[in-house]
Structure 1
Amino acid sequence: MIVVGLMTGTSADGLDVAVADLALDGDELALRVLDHREVAFPDDLADDILRLLEPRDVPLSLVSGVDARLGRFCADAVADVLAETGVVADLVVSHGQTVRHDVTDGQVTGTFQIGQPAWIAERTGVPVLSDVRSHDVAAGGQGAPLASVLDHLLLADAEIPTAALNLGGIANITVVAPGRPTVAYDTGPANALIDLMARRITGEPRAYDRDGALAAAGEVLPALLDDLLAEPYYALDAPKSTGKELFHAAYLDEHLSRYAAAHGEPDPHDVVATLTVLTARTVVDQCRARGVGAVVASGGGTRNPVLMAALRRELGAAPVRTTDELGLPEGAKEATLMALLGWLTWHGLPGTLPGVTGATHGTLAGRITPGAGPLRLGEPPAAPPARLRVVR
């Protein structure tokens, strides 16, 4: 089955596209990545997405407009990749852009992704799976992190407790350990707060700390780090999830104002250095609590050598590698995850693991927008896959 996965995350810097060929062989699901790419958003679309990610009231016309524009952008991206590769897709899975993820007293009450899938189905004639989080939320789950099902299958043969770590706007881990149930949750910010400071320093609306240069030019501020680490979210039990509804500009400014009142205005590069260590420390604290002996990382944060060095320093002897070493390009992981969720739903299999998100049961992910022809779903296999093998 050929599935195109589309992912845009909390960094909102572009659309990740992966074309995956999936085939079940016994209890093993073989996955070959036929193509993967990142398609940058046009400036006006990126700016409007970032406006929606700030926790403030916005016009309904902005939500509706971005929903349609992002849908058309995704449709063009899929049409382009199918034309260039000559691949005939069976399904497209579009995550869409999360613009709200509401949490009250640790319980997710709603999650909202936009990027109208009908544009993709109409442009390509291929059915589209979308809204992949809501069913899990309705069953009492967090709707996140969805990566847990891919991580669980990819690390099924791990001999020691191993954490799959994704460093996007938000950091999340999936811990797979022999003889123990898999656990997964968001640990806190990865690039979300770092990106905010990078944009303030450079004046560029979509800047990030390229190659860790901004963090390398600063020094960690212990008092600021301690204040940031006092965030109550870090002490919550799993399952839990978070996003830019918590880790946003006003949140950062509150901490910076407290620091400035006691110590004077901080150097912006020192703030970036401190936020980089915050990301590493909050990830490593959770890895230690779970007895993790190895880490397999993915996401944009793996391209920041200062952040990766901080992770390795905090972890000590535990090795840190990327999913590239397992055959899965780190930049393609989340879009490939969407393809996997599509394969599972198409074959009547849940896209979440029991207990991982907090849902009362595993749920089929998403809803389907038909393509040009009638829907003909796959037959459920005799048993779900037990492991995932990436075919190079």
Structure 2
Amino acid sequence: MTALFIGLMSGTSLDGVDGVLADFGTTPIAVRAHASAALEPALKAELLALNQPGINELHRAALAANALMRVYASVVKQLLAMTSFVPRQITAIGAHGQTVRHQPQMHDGTGYTLQLANPALLAELTGIDVIADFRSRDVAAGGQGAPLVPAFHQAVFGKPDQTMAVLNIGGMANLTILGPARTDDVLGFDCGPGNALMDAWCLRHLGLPFDADGTWAASGQVHADLLNTMLAEPFFALLPPKSTGRDLFNLDWLELQLKGFPNVMPVDVLTTLTELTARTCTACVQTYGSKSKQLIVCGGGAFNAHLMARLQALMPGVVAQVSDAHGLPAQQVEAAAFAWLARKTIRREPLDLKSITGTRGARVLGAIYPA
């Protein structure tokens, strides 16, 4: 076993695959390389469609998983080329897969979470052991299965003498509160939508995958009544542990919110959606992380200048900074987390996520697919 692991992440935003080659032989961990690959429009559209019931789902999901693994393998190839490492020098790949359904504790009391992947194919394509399916064991043990990254946040961002808050804004937004020193002081949960609704609205009205720098949102006005209608969504009032996804926050949900407001300009809808993300995230920080004077922001939302400005304006007593300022670039955090989780699996180290997901106790997460 070497200290080298690869982490691969394709998030709810569907904006592509991020991969890192992480070296755990140093403290803190060192990212030796970072690579990304966009998803082809047809694959992106299929993955998005598979978030909802449809015809011939099993067949389509299997083929989409195969296609996604080929993108994953291309990112691995990039990482190896950038570092001159060969497959036998990498202990394992941590592969998240693409979440298409997330319904923990629903239906039969256990529920499920589904990340499309074909880890066996990825092992064949790369010649490296693959660790996947990290969330299912947590759900089986009574947990939400998400978010998993707060434990990693503690490892890389935790301070022995202060409370820290880490906000990951991907398709959904999740918050981590890190108490001083001890792992059992970690609290983490989903706040609500991050970029998913904003991105979908931009695609519909501008034909663009996202609002670069938040420029379009910054040009509009918040519609107060629409915002209040959105904030009445029951999910926001739930107590942690809680998690969510496109099962709830999707265009159908947005259309339902807009029914009473037919004359709102599209730009003002986007401005209001951006404000929704900012308000729900800051409310969570203020409720659960009131002792924190620093907010570390990662994920795609960290690149939205308007959103970052709104977060800072709503929390004048907190310094909001992109995670780059704390040693790990915003686009690398989640991929690095899955490299870290893969290492935990290989070493059979259980994670106690009771305060994060509500699981019954410490469990080893993930399944191993040998090369």
TM-score range (shorter-chain normalised) is over 0.9
Among 173, 183, 187, the alignment partner of 2:187 is: 183
Q: Distance in 1 between matches of 2:157 and 2:125?
A: 37
Aligned partner of 1:216 in structure 2 is 218
Aligned partner of 1:94 in structure 2 is 95
2:320 aligned with 1:320: yes
Per-residue CA deviations over 1:145-195 (Å, capped at 9, x if unaligned) read 111111122233253322110010000001012377211000000101111
2:235 aligned with 1:233: yes
Aligned partner of 2:37 in structure 1 is 39
Asked if structure 2 preserves the Cα contact closer than 8 Å seen for 1:160 and 1:294, the reply is no
2:76 aligned with 1:78: yes
Q: Distance in 1 between matches of 2:161 and 2:259?
A: 46
Q: Distance in 2 between matches of 1:332 and 1:43?
A: 23
The Cα shift of 1:73 comes to 2.1
Per-residue CA deviations over 1:303-335 (Å, capped at 9, x if unaligned) read 111000000011111111121112111110000
Q: Distance in 1 between matches of 2:35 and 2:77?
A: 13
Q: Distance in 1 between matches of 2:227 and 2:161?
A: 35
Asked if structure 2 preserves the Cα contact closer than 8 Å seen for 1:219 and 1:270, the reply is yes
Asked if structure 1 preserves the Cα contact closer than 8 Å seen for 2:220 and 2:271, the reply is yes
SS of residue matched to 1:331: coil
Q: Residues 354 and 257 (structure 1 numbering): CA distance in 2 closer, same or farther, change over 3 Å? A: closer
The Cα shift of 1:43 comes to 2.0
The Cα shift of 1:355 comes to 3.0
Q: Which amino acid in structure 1 is aligned with residue 163 of structure 2? A: P
2:304 aligned with 1:304: yes
The Cα shift of 1:352 comes to 4.4
Q: Residues 80 and 38 (structure 1 numbering): CA distance in 2 closer, same or farther, change over 3 Å? A: closer
Q: Distance in 1 between matches of 2:63 and 2:340?
A: 29
Asked if structure 2 preserves the Cα contact closer than 8 Å seen for 1:295 and 1:320, the reply is yes
Q: Distance in 2 between matches of 1:324 and 1:108?
A: 38
Per-residue CA deviations over 1:35-78 (Å, capped at 9, x if unaligned) read 0122111222122112113x332422211110111122212321
Q: Distance in 2 between matches of 1:108 and 1:160?
A: 36
Matched residue pairs, number?
360
The Cα shift of 1:203 comes to 2.7
The Cα shift of 1:104 comes to 5.0
Matches of residues 1-392 of structure 1 in structure 2 within 5 Å? Answer: 1-23=3-25, 29-53=27-51, 55-59=52-56, 60-87=58-85, 88-103=89-104, 109-157=111-159, 159-178=161-180, 181-204=185-208, 207-260=209-262, 265-290=263-288, 291=290, 292-371=292-371
Asked if structure 2 preserves the Cα contact closer than 8 Å seen for 1:71 and 1:116, the reply is yes
Gaps of at least 5 residues in structure 2 are: none
Asked if structure 1 preserves the Cα contact closer than 8 Å seen for 2:151 and 2:186, the reply is no
Q: Which amino acid in structure 2 is aligned with residue 89 of structure 1? A: I
The Cα shift of 1:294 comes to 1.8
TM-score by length of 2: 0.93
Identify which range, 353-362 or 225-234, moves more after superposition.
353-362
SS of residue matched to 1:258: coil
SS of residue matched to 1:266: coil
Percent identity (aligned): 37
RMSD across aligned positions (CA): 1.7
TM-score by length of 1: 0.88
Gaps of at least 5 residues in structure 1 are: 372-392
Q: Distance in 1 between matches of 2:55 and 2:32?
A: 39
Asked if structure 2 preserves the Cα contact closer than 8 Å seen for 1:108 and 1:142, the reply is no
Identify which range, 347-356 or 119-128, moves more after superposition.
347-356
